[in-house]
Amino acid sequence: MDTAHRTLRPRSSTPSWAVVLLLCLITAACGPAASVGSDEGGPATGDEAASGEIRMARATWDTGFMQAYIYHDLLEELGFDVSNPADATLDPNVFYPALGQGEYDLWANGWFPLHDIYLERELFSGEQNPEPISPVGTQVAGGALQGYLVDKQTADELSLTSMADFTNADVARTFDEDGDGMADLIGCNEGWGCNTQISEHIDRLAWGTNVEQVVGNYSDLITEVQSSVEAGEPVLFYTWTPNWTVDVLAPGEDVVWLESPALPDDEGVTTAEGLEGCAADADACDLGWVVNDIRAVANDDFLAANPVAEALLEAVQIPLDDIAQQNAEMNAAGDSYTEADIAQDAADWIEANRDTVDGWLEQARAASG
């Protein structure tokens, strides 16, 4: 079955705050680059364990921007000269090949196993060749959930609990916006790993026969999803956590998570225990997506040459609740939230967790031998 796929062109109306922020980061068109890091804290003179330049990148989803700055600032405390990750805001399908070629040294926004597909590249012979890149440490263990949701009103009216319900053509037509008889699933940006995974679900799972993925700028699409929910209109969409979408569209109140069959060859846990807003009302909600770890990813040559940096990447852990809180505050502030605000969030987080952070830095400095 060919993957159903529809690209939604941006509307001419003013975009959401997140779209504006994202465009600013990519084009650097919103003024001078923000000062990164903080003048407070950091090692005393002569305490640096490392030196040299580090070329950082970051992903295009704004839910990971603060974490990138946290890594940036900590590496600078160790004595590295680190590029502003906002200057290289990239989709995964662009970043990972560039990382393998040594154009960048690392980023903080790896999702595994979702990003496993980028750890190898296909040769002309058809063989898979490992890229010289490695995930390092575990920033957030098992905290990255993904899945499909519908507005609660329609779920209640049609008794929807699972994506398997979309094998019913009548159900699918309820979510058809363009008149082709297929349910429109609001999906991911072209170039994101979730875009590829959704397409694979549509290709290989029975419910995909009646569903097509709508592709566009995710923040813009979710703004339209929010409008649909508020208007009482049926809507089907993908999201992940941590993400501000589940703050503005509360699972269990505005929307519900649908269970979904997993792909037969998926390895790993696909159930979320005690998930708020699971339509199936189950203690363990099977979302059909393997629960992901968020991890830094670095070039192997860089890691070999910089054991201090590697030790820091191994040590850093950021609580999921802290990420979710920052995401919610960023979203609530709307257009007024700037790049400098995000950088300050990272600096504030570091100072609020100084005792823990100093332990990471001490561990990293010890790796200098």
Residue with tokens 């060749």: 129
**Best CA proximity match to 216, nearest among 369, 49, 6:** 6
Amino acid found at 203 = D
Burial of 321 (C-beta count, 10 Å sphere; 0-12/13-18/19+): exposed
Question: In which residue are the tokens 């923000």 written?
Answer: 34
Indicate whether 17 pLDDT > 60: no
Return the domain boundaries, the chain: 5-11+146-286, 32-141+293-366
DSSP state for residue 231 in the 8-state scheme? T
Contact (CB, 8 A) for 98 and 299: no
Give me the pLDDT at residue 126, please: 64
Among 218, 227, 151, which residue's Cα sits nearest to residue 189? Answer: 218
Q: What is the CATH number of domain 5-11+146-286?
A: 3.40.190.100
Global confidence as pTM = 0.77
Inform me whether the pLDDT recorded for 294 exceeds 70: yes
pLDDT band at 125; cut points 50, 70, 90:
low
Residue with tokens 């650097």: 28
Phi-psi map region of 61: left, alpha, beta (phi>0 left; psi -120 to 50 alpha): beta
Amino acid occupying residue 295: R
CATH superfamily of 32-141+293-366: Periplasmic binding protein-like II (3.40.190.10)
The reply to whether 32-141+293-366 shares the fold of 5-11+146-286 is yes
pLDDT value, residue 16: 37
State mean pLDDT over 228-242: 96
d(CA 80, CA 82): 6
Strand 106-112 and strand 128-130: the pairing is: unpaired
Instruction: Kindly state the average pLDDT of the residues 341-363.
Output: 98
Q: Is 124 a residue whose pLDDT tops 70?
A: no
Asked which of 12-26, 97-111, 164-178, 314-328 is least confident by mean pLDDT, the reply is 12-26
Give me the pLDDT at residue 365, please.
97
